[in-house]
């Protein structure tokens, strides 16, 4: 029943509102049961709203009387998500969190915390109840999965990358453009993003480790609405954050 253990499939889909709204499954999941296998992080003081898309398999296998047999999944229900930090919750569409086998479903994971003490790592464990039929017999199974590590970051000048000079952003405030200087990049994989106050990504670029450990990137901002934005650099498992004001 390993397939049943991985029913939930997370897909990035940031909503602009703070509170949960009816969601729509993202068909970009394709044939996968899970994509991706981690949740984007949240930041203290900022709203968080993610659509979670999952696939309920129609067929699976289980061991019955010592032999593997074909099992048909009638339906599955998300019973509970444990390990969620204070200030966060989830709502399903439909509200009973139950979906038929062979279909896509979704839930919205949302919330906000203004307390720096909430910052940290939260392994989220999901509990799934499945109604299945195998060898002419009906079964009810409850399975759990602990694949999702959710992080809440406290914005404190925002550096987790070892050397503080790794990320520079200027001018600040800015009007038509900003320049981003990146240096001392040690990771082979790096992602630079710009997010608005509601967490929506307005710019994103991935790049390999430069041979000279240094990159300068210019981002046009003239088409952006005035307000506060976040520059986020992900380098391996490290993260750097900078605030930027667009006038």
In order, the DSSP letters of 104-166 are EEEEEEEE----GGG-EEEEEEEEEEEEEEETTEEEEEEEEEEEEEEEEE--SS-B-SSSGGG
Residue 66: the pLDDT is: 78
Half-sphere exposure of 233 (CA within 13 A, CB side): 32
Residue 33: the pLDDT is: 66
Residue 5: the pLDDT is: 34
CATH topology of domain 164-246: Immunoglobulin-like (2.60.40)
In sequence order, the 6+-apart residues with CB closer than 8 A to the CB of 72 are 58, 59, 101, 132, 133, 134
Residue 46: the pLDDT is: 79
C-alpha to C-alpha distance for 225 and 212, rounded to whole angstroms: 35
Tell me which DSSP letter residue 84 carries: P
Could you read off the pLDDT tens digit of each residue along the chain, which spans 247 residues? Answer: 433 333 333 333 333 334 557 898 888 777 766 655 667 778 788 788 888 888 888 887 777 777 888 889 999 999 999 999 999 999 999 999 999 999 998 999 999 998 989 988 899 988 889 999 988 889 888 887 766 788 887 765 444 444 444 678 999 999 999 998 877 666 667 788 898 877 788 999 888 766 666 778 899 999 999 988 988 887 766 777 888 899 9
Residue 63: the pLDDT is: 76
Strands (DSSP E) contained in the chain are 10-14, 42-43, 48-56, 59-64, 67-82, 88-93, 98-100, 103-111, 120-134, 137-153, 167-170, 177-183, 189-195, 201-208, 214-220, 227-235, 238-246
In sequence order, the 6+-apart residues with CB closer than 8 A to the CB of 238 are 160, 161, 162, 187
Three-state secondary structure call for residue 27? helix
Tokens 């210019």 correspond to what residue? 218
2's tokens: 């390993």
In CATH, what is the architecture of 2-153? Sandwich (2.60)
Domain regions of the chain by residue span: 2-153, 164-246
Residue 143: the pLDDT is: 82
Single out the residue of 87, 147, 78 nearest to residue 114, CA to CA. Answer: 87
Full-prediction pTM beyond 0.85? no
Exposure pattern of 22-60 as b/e (b: 16+ CB <10 Å)?
A: ebebbeebeeebbbeeebbbbbbebbbbbbbbbbbbeeb
C-alpha 149 chain-centroid distance: 9
C-alpha to C-alpha distance for 104 and 89, rounded to whole angstroms: 21
Topology match between the domains 2-153 and 164-246: yes
């Amino acid at each position: 029943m390993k397939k049943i253990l991985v029913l939930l499939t997370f897909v990035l889909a940031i909503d602009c509102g703070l509170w949960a709204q009816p969601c729509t499954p993202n068909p970009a999941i394709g044939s996968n049961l899970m994509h991706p296998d981690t949740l984007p992080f949240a930041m203290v003081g900022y709203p968080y709203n993610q659509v979670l898309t999952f696939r309920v398999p129609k067929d699976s296998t289980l061991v019955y009387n010592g032999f593997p047999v074909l099992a048909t999944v009638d339906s599955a229900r998300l019973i509970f998500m444990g390990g969620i930090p204070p200030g966060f919750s989830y709502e399903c569409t439909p509200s009973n969190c139950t979906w038929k086998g062979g279909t896509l479903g979704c839930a919205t994971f949302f919330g906000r915390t203004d307390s720096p003490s909430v910052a940290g790592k939260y392994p989220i464990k999901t509990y799934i109840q499945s109604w299945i039929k195998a060898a002419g017999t009906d079964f009810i199974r409850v399975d759990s999965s602990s694949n999702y590590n959710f992080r809440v970051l406290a914005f404190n000048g925002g550096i987790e990358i070892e050397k503080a000079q790794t990320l520079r952003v200027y001018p600040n405030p800015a009007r038509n453009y900003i320049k981003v200087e990146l240096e001392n990049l040690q990771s082979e994989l790096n992602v630079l993003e710009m997010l608005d106050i509601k967490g929506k990504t307005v710019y994103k670029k991935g790049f390999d480790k430069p041979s000279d450990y240094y990159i300068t990137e210019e981002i046009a901002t003239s088409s952006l609405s005035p307000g506060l934005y976040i520059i986020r650099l992900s380098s391996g498992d490290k993260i750097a954050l900078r605030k930027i004001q667009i006038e």
